[in-house]
């Protein structure tokens, strides 16, 4: 139940192209996250999947069935909205059962489902209240309950947690994850929060400007971003970008970096960029891949030590963020608090060479 295929879907409002050829394909039971900055077309795409708005061209399949011309009620979907959209005039019980009522589910069956959903979401004691008498977190649960009451092929969530406070958001995130583990249903979930995306998803589609920048598993996106936008968007603090020149290091190519305490060269493993010697590239490396000196890695050829000058030190508790300027770009490094040096001092930083990625500084695309 619930595979979703989106083929070359475009959407224009008048002369404005909002979605420009979206291709996404997920298996039944997968958790798909659409993530991207505000205004990139995530909600628009979700509305198209729901059938609340028509597509300009392309094809959407749910469970192998083309749904392009089906109204929302015939698409076998349920949706949770950012504003929850609970019916203010109905009590919670009725809010949850409204969809069942319209589908002419027998009354006794309705009651059974409402009670089941309510106990699953721990809202049993709220059933006779009106939505206005509920807190934000409770409303959120009811909105999910309304979606869960029917057993559709596909659940659609549009930023369901963005109106909750930080603490509740983390709790609900875990609950949604547990719910998915338990129900094994297909979920399409929109968010602009990359942490939500990383923690929840089986598959992530990073969107920008109506285009899917990259589609893949969280790991793929994190380790193998296909362009600088995806690289910078996923992860917090985000990936460091250092402009540098490719140099010849005998067997392999390397990049030359000035870290404020003399220049050093980082060899590029896996025979990359040998043909690009002399060219400018953008080195991408995540903060946790530039660390304090770790003794156990000293023998490993994938790790490289180099002296850099500390500009700023930011303790976060478990680690301390060290800010270093490399070739003029600000680079965040994640250090053990005990090993962190003071601003102005030199510090030996350890680079994980296997996790370096390179981008074309002009097109911002990944270099192979």
Partner 1 sequence: MSSFSADTPHSSSTMGRIFIYGILLIVAGYFLLPLIVMLFTSVKSMEEIRTGSLISFPTSITFEAWSKAWSSACTGVECSGLSGYFWNSVWLVTPTVTISTFLGALNGYVLTKWNFKGANVFFSMLLIGCFIPFQVILLPMARTLGFLGLAGTTTGLIMVHIIYGLSFTTLFFRNFYVSIPNELVKAAKIDGAGFFMIFWKIMLPLSIPIIVVSVIWQFTQIWNDFLFGVVFSAGEAQPITVALNNLVNTSTGVKEYNVDMAAAIIAALPTLFVYVVAGKYFVRGLTAGAVKG
Ligand X SMILES: Nc1ncnc2c1ncn2[C@@H]1O[C@H](COP(=O)(O)OP(=O)(O)O)[C@@H](O)[C@H]1O
Q: Under rule CB under 6 A, which residues in 2-61 are in contact with ligand X?
A: 13, 18, 36, 38-44
Question: How is the beta sheet containing 77-80 ordered, strand by strand?
Answer: 77-80, 154-158, 186-191, 31-35, 203-208, 211-216
Distance CA 324, CA 120 (A): 49
CB of 90 to partner 1, least distance (A): 8
CB of 21 to ligand X, least distance (A): 15
Torsion over CA: 270, 275, 279, 282 (sign): negative
13 lies in the binding site for partner 1 (CB under 8 A):
no
79 lies in the binding site for partner 1 (CB under 8 A):
yes
Please say whether the beta carbons of 41 and 119 come within 8 A. Answer: no
Work out what residue 368 binds among partner 1, ligand X, Mg ion, none; the CB cut-off runs from 5 to 8 Å by kind. Answer: none
43 lies in the binding site for Mg ion (CB under 5 A):
yes
Distance CA 342, CA 338 (A): 11
Residue carrying the six token digits 């380790």: 223
- Mark the segment that binds Mg ion (CB under 5 A) among 42-50, 179-187, 278-286, 348-356: 42-50
44 lies in the binding site for Mg ion (CB under 5 A):
no
Using DSSP's 3-state secondary structure scheme, residue 6 falls into: strand
Using DSSP's 3-state secondary structure scheme, residue 52 falls into: coil
The residue (of 96 and 143) whose beta carbon lies closer to Mg ion is 143
CA 37 to chain centroid = 11
Residue nearest to ligand X (CB): 43
Distance CA 366, CA 359 (A): 4
Could you say which of 1, 10, 18, 52 contacts partner 1 (CB under 8 A)? 52
- For binding to partner 1 (CB under 8 A), which residues are involved? 47, 50, 52, 71-73, 77-79, 81-83, 85-89, 98-99, 102-103, 146
- For binding to ligand X (CB under 6 A), which residues are involved? 13, 18, 36, 38-44
């Amino acid at each position: 139940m619930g595979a979703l295929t989106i083929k070359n879907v475009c959407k224009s409002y008048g002369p404005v192209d909002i979605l420009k050829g979206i291709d996404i394909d997920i298996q039944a039971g997968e958790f798909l996250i659409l993530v991207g900055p505000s205004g990139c077309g995530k909600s628009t795409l979700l509305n198209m999947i729901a059938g609340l708005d028509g597509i300009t061209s392309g094809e959407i399949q749910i469970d192998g069935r083309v749904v392009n011309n089906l109204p929302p009620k015939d698409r076998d979907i349920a949706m949770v909205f950012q504003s929850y959209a609970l019916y203010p005039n109905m009590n919670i019980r009725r809010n949850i059962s409204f969809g069942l009522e319209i589908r002419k589910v027998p009354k006794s069956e309705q009651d059974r489902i409402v009670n089941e959903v309510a106990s699953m979401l721990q809202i049993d004691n709220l059933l006779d209240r009106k939505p206005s008498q509920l807190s934000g977190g409770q409303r959120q649960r009811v909105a999910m309950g309304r979606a869960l009451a029917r057993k559709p092929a596909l659940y659609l969530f549009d930023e369901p947690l963005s109106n909750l406070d930080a603490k509740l958001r983390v709790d609900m995130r875990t609950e949604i994850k547990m719910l998915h583990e338990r129900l094994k249903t297909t979920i399409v979930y929109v968010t602009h929060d990359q942490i939500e995306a990383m923690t929840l998803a089986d598959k992530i589609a990073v969107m920008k400007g109506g285009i899917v920048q990259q589609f893949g598993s969280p790991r793929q996106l994190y380790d193998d971003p296909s362009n600088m936008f995806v690289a910078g968007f996923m992860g917090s603090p985000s990936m460091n970008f250092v402009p540098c020149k490719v140099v010849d290091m005998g067997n392999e190519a390397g990049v030359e970096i000035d870290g404020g305490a003399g220049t050093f060269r980082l060899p590029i493993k896996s025979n990359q960029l040998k043909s690009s010697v002399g060219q400018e590239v953008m080195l991408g490396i995540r903060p946790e891949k530039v660390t304090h000196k770790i003794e156990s890695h000293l023998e490993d050829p994938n790790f490289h030590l180099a002296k850099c000058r500390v500009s700023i030190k930011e303790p976060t508790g478990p680690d301390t963020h060290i800010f270093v300027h490399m070739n003029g770009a600000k680079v965040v490094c994640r250090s053990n608090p005990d090993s962190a040096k003071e601003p102005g001092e030199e510090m030996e930083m350890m680079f994980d060479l296997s996790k370096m990625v390179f981008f074309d500084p002009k097109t911002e695309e990944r270099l192979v």
